[in-house]
């Protein structure tokens, strides 16, 4: 996979793209991530990318020329061009899985008061938002998209089975996890997890996942019912 990130602040990506899982994925050649400075495509010698909005109003608006030129320089026949925008559809795990199958993503990071509307109408394939709040630009959302997508690329994570049990993978939040010591300050690991009975462990985890989702994100349940039996110990060892 190749990901081109179009931004006016490429330095912001230094840490996220050079650490941890993304760093290893790049070193293994599993993903090629390229930072494109939109200012390099400005039509004037000052590298200007913004101007006052027609009709008046506060703030500045990103001009269409540099964004179009930068996108056209990297766009291929199989590219998916995405604008990170609070007006976009909310990023969910289903969308992340879809994006992870794309051979080439082009992520456009907006800034200032917004972008010229012609970018939305004639250049991008879709808009994505990471939440109903406003940030100073599209750089942080782009980092979120890259991190979520790259970890789903085959061979990026060593234990691919763990992906199947993560939160949102089956429309549920993930069940509680425990490790040693089995008794920490009087807080004990649920006995069912120590039983060695894989069927009971699976049943307990399923029930806990449903209960946790019901308590924290009932909107995700979509009519699913609590499984019967196999309760084991309560959440968090209570």
The 3-class secondary structure across 145-207, one letter per residue, is HHHHHHCCCCCCCCCHHHHHHCCCCCCCCCCCCCCCCCEECCEECCHHHHCCCHHHHHHHHHH
In sign, the C-alpha dihedral spanning 20, 25, 41, 109 is negative
Give the domains, in start order, of the chain with CATH numbers: 2-150 (3.40.1280.10), 160-237 (1.10.1270.20)
Instruction: Give CA–CA dist 163/71, Å, rounded.
Output: 32
Q: Provide the residue-wise pLDDT of the chain in tens; the chain has 238 residues.
A: 999 999 999 999 999 999 999 999 999 999 999 999 999 999 888 899 999 999 988 889 999 999 999 999 999 999 999 999 999 999 999 999 999 999 999 999 998 778 999 999 999 999 999 999 999 999 999 999 999 999 999 999 975 545 555 555 578 888 999 999 999 999 999 999 999 999 999 999 999 999 999 999 999 887 555 444 433 333 333 2
CA 186 to chain CA mean position, Å: 37
Q: Which of 203, 207, 201, 210 is CA-nearest to residue 171?
A: 210
Contact assessment for residue 156 and residue 27, using Cβ atoms and an 8 Å cutoff: no
Instruction: Give CA–CA dist 226/223, Å, rounded.
Output: 10
């Amino acid at each position: 996979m190749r990901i081109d990130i179009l931004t006016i602040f490429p330095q912001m990506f230094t840490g996220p793209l050079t650490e941890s899982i993304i760093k290893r994925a790049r070193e293994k050649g599993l993903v090629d991530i390229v930072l494109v400075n939109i200012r390099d495509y400005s039509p004037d010698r000052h590298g200007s990318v913004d101007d006052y909005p027609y009709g008046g109003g506060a703030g500045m608006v990103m001009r269409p020329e540099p964004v179009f030129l930068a996108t056209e320089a990297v766009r291929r026949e199989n590219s998916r061009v995405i604008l990170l925008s609070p007006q976009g559809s909310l990023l969910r795990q289903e969308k992340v899985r879809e994006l992870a199958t794309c051979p080439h993503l082009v992520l456009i990071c907006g800034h200032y008061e917004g972008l010229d509307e012609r970018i939305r109408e004639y250049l991008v394939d879709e808009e994505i938002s990471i939440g109903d709040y406003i940030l100073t630009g599209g750089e942080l959302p782009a980092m979120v998209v890259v991190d979520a997508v790259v970890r789903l690329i085959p061979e990026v994570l060593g234990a691919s089975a763990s992906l199947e049990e993560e939160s949102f993978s089956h429309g549920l939040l993930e069940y509680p996890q425990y490790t040693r010591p089995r008794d920490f300050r009087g807080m004990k690991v649920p006995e069912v997890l120590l039983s060695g009975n894989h069927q009971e462990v699976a049943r307990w985890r399923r029930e806990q996942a449903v209960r946790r989702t019901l308590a924290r994100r009932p909107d995700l349940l979509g009519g699913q019912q609590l499984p019967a039996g196999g309760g084991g110990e309560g959440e968090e060892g209570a």
